[in-house]
Amino acid sequence: MKRIITYGTFDLLHYGHINLLKRAKKLGDYLIVGVTSESYDIGRGKLNVSQSLQERIENVKSTGLADLVIVEEFEGQKVSDIKKYDVDTFAIGSDWIGKFDYLKQFCEVVYLERTKDISSTLLRTKANSIIKIGIIGNGRIAKRFIKESKYVSGVDISCVYGRNINHLEEFCKNLELNEYYTNYDEFLKKIDAVYIALPHSLHFTYAKKALLADKHVLCEKPITLSYKETEELFQIANEKKLIIYEAIKTAYAPCFDRLISMAQSGIIGEIKDIEATFTKLIDNKNLREFNSSLGGGSLTELGSYPLLVITKLLGTKPKNISYITSIDTETNVDLMTKVFMQYKNAFATATVGIGIKKEGECVISGTLGYIIVPAPWWKTNYFEIRFEDLNKTQKVFYKFDGDGLRYELVDFINAINKGEKTYKLTNEESLFISSVIEKFIDNKSNNQNIHVL
Ligand code: C2G
């Protein structure tokens, strides 16, 4: 008798899962299905699983395809299961290609082609339906986003929109997407929501069109380069009762949320100063980041992160904002920029650079002590709360899984499905960030109120 084993979460069981189980079953005579436990899913960074273990086991049993259902509790269990059940073949979807090659020393390993563009009609009527997301843009961040989406239950990345057919074809092939579109209206008809991963200067046009077509929008940061444009998008979304989120990944990360809560708890006293730095050297001047007509430059590229921590803790109404910048004569983009903000009772400095390198830390100073978040603080997973008496130092760790894009995606789909409004990045905060960036762009082009190094 040939024994096959496969594993999965099997949340909101859909055709993709059933197809997989059917084909796994056909590989042999006896099919064992491992269903992941809640704690195992949390441990491997899979978020937003909406059904309980019991319900998911029932899902699998209801297919009638499994001869035995077991629970997967820990990393490494696959090896012991294969030995214990004398398994001949381990089967899993092609989204895991290569990942389980290490099992080849114990049994045959088969990757079965994943079902593209799963049908969600079965689930539409349920409270937690699967949200079909279309990707706009086929660059680096779009790729990362698709990979991260595999760790979020309840989303289906259905298709991609772009302009260059060759690039789109390759993108779909590499990322196992079914469809691409070069016609935006056709693309919009296929989906519930869009993820916009285009150069900054194009965000507004595509986001507005998507909202007007009744689609929810998750837009890479900065959402737009102007206060008015950001405001218009929020207004349309509000009138149409749609969700629009600015994808500043840090804002949605669990450890960053803790950092903000602890800083606000009074543990370091009154917050008087924030210094946050993010530099990322980009050596290829042909890239978007060095193209000023596409909105390139240090502040547009990276400013959202330090401005996020500043606005979360000090608010949206500084009395004064000034800028110091170093401009690249060749491309006219800012290689490094410092934004100084003076609030009623506090100061803040945001430092960003794509052509000058600096330690990327964040320090929040108060009347009783300070919090230091070491680089890369924007992928927050650790911070220290320090006082005059070093013995009182507190160290806080909390994991930041993968590239962190999964967190914003979870909040986004929860907002769509459950109407949960996020406090993690409010419209007011996004508007403030847009206005600080816009003011810099205006000052830079008028050569006013700006110190050039
Ligand atoms: N699957 C598929 N087509 C889809 C969606 C999923 O073929 N459209 C497959 C997956 O590749 C996997 C199985 O269905 O083989 C279960 O998918 P999930 O519930 O998403 O579980 P997953 O996170 O892939 O678990 O130990 C757990 C396993 O490593 C994988």
The 10s digit of each residue's pLDDT in 336-347 is 999 999 999 999
pLDDT of 119 above 90:
no
Q: Which two tokens stand for residue 298?
A: 């240090």
Cβ of 297 below 6 Å from ligand 1 = no
Cβ of 20 below 6 Å from ligand 1 = yes
What is the residue with the minimal CA distance to atom 16 of ligand 1? 8
Q: What is the pLDDT at residue 128?
A: 60
How much is the average pLDDT of 189-199?
A: 96
What is the residue with the minimal CA distance to atom 12 of ligand 1? 93
Atom of ligand 1 lying closest to residue 114 CA: 7
What is the residue with the minimal CA distance to atom 22 of ligand 1? 8
pLDDT band at 239 (very low <50, low <70, confident <90, very high): very high
Cβ of 156 below 6 Å from ligand 1 = no
Cβ of 95 below 6 Å from ligand 1 = yes
Cβ of 7 below 6 Å from ligand 1 = yes
Q: How far is the CA of 197 from the centre of ligand 1 (A)?
A: 26
Cβ of 149 below 6 Å from ligand 1 = no
H or E segment to which residue 436 belongs: helix 427-446
Side-by-side strand order, sheet with 347-353: 394-397, 382-386, 370-373, 362-366, 271-279, 347-353, 334-342, 320-327, 450-452
pLDDT band at 10 (very low <50, low <70, confident <90, very high): very high
Question: What's the whole-number average pLDDT of the chain?
Answer: 94
Q: How far is the CA of 215 from the centre of ligand 1 (A)?
A: 27
Q: How far is the CA of 194 from the centre of ligand 1 (A)?
A: 23
Rounded Cα–Cα distance for residues 56 and 52 (Å): 6
Best of 4, 7, 41, 77 for a ligand 1 pocket test (most atoms within 8 Å of beta carbon): 7
pLDDT: which is higher, 263 or 447: 263
Rounded Cα–Cα distance for residues 273 and 258 (Å): 19
Q: How far is the CA of 233 from the centre of ligand 1 (A)?
A: 36
Q: What is the pLDDT at residue 124?
A: 42
Q: How far is the CA of 282 from the centre of ligand 1 (A)?
A: 36
Best of 51, 90, 94, 95 for a ligand 1 pocket test (most atoms within 8 Å of beta carbon): 95
pLDDT of 363 above 60:
yes
Q: How far is the CA of 424 from the centre of ligand 1 (A)?
A: 30
Q: What is the pLDDT at residue 178?
A: 86
Residue-wise pLDDT tens digits, 21-60: 999 999 999 999 999 999 899 888 898 888 999 999 999 9
Atom of ligand 1 lying closest to residue 78 CA: 26
Cβ of 16 below 6 Å from ligand 1 = yes
Q: What is the pLDDT at residue 300?
A: 98
How much is the average pLDDT of 184-209?
A: 97
Q: What is the pLDDT at residue 420?
A: 76
pLDDT of 125 above 60:
no
Q: How far is the CA of 123 from the centre of ligand 1 (A)?
A: 17
Atom of ligand 1 lying closest to residue 96 CA: 11
Rounded to two decimals, what is the model's pTM? Answer: 0.85
Cβ of 177 below 6 Å from ligand 1 = no
pLDDT of 122 above 70:
no
How much is the average pLDDT of 410-417?
A: 93
Cβ of 90 below 6 Å from ligand 1 = no
How much is the average pLDDT of 353-376?
A: 98
Q: Which of 80-94, 110-124, 352-366 has the lowest mean pLDDT?
A: 110-124
Residue-wise pLDDT tens digits, 322-337: 999 999 999 999 999 9
Rounded Cα–Cα distance for residues 82 and 272 (Å): 58
Atom of ligand 1 lying closest to residue 100 CA: 29
pLDDT above 70 covers a percentage of the chain that reads 98
Rounded Cα–Cα distance for residues 120 and 126 (Å): 10
How much is the average pLDDT of 240-253?
A: 97
Atom of ligand 1 lying closest to residue 99 CA: 29
Q: What is the pLDDT at residue 121?
A: 42
pLDDT of 142 above 90:
yes
What is the residue with the minimal CA distance to atom 14 of ligand 1? 17
Residue-wise pLDDT tens digits, 272-312: 999 999 999 999 999 989 999 989 999 999 999 999 999 99
- Enumerate long-range contacts of 310-315, CB under 8 Å, 24 or more apart: 310/274, 310/276, 310/341, 310/348, 310/350, 311/429, 311/432, 311/433, 312/251, 312/260, 312/429, 313/260, 313/263, 313/264, 313/271, 313/274, 313/364, 314/271, 314/274, 314/341, 314/343, 314/346, 314/348, 315/343
Cβ of 117 below 6 Å from ligand 1 = no
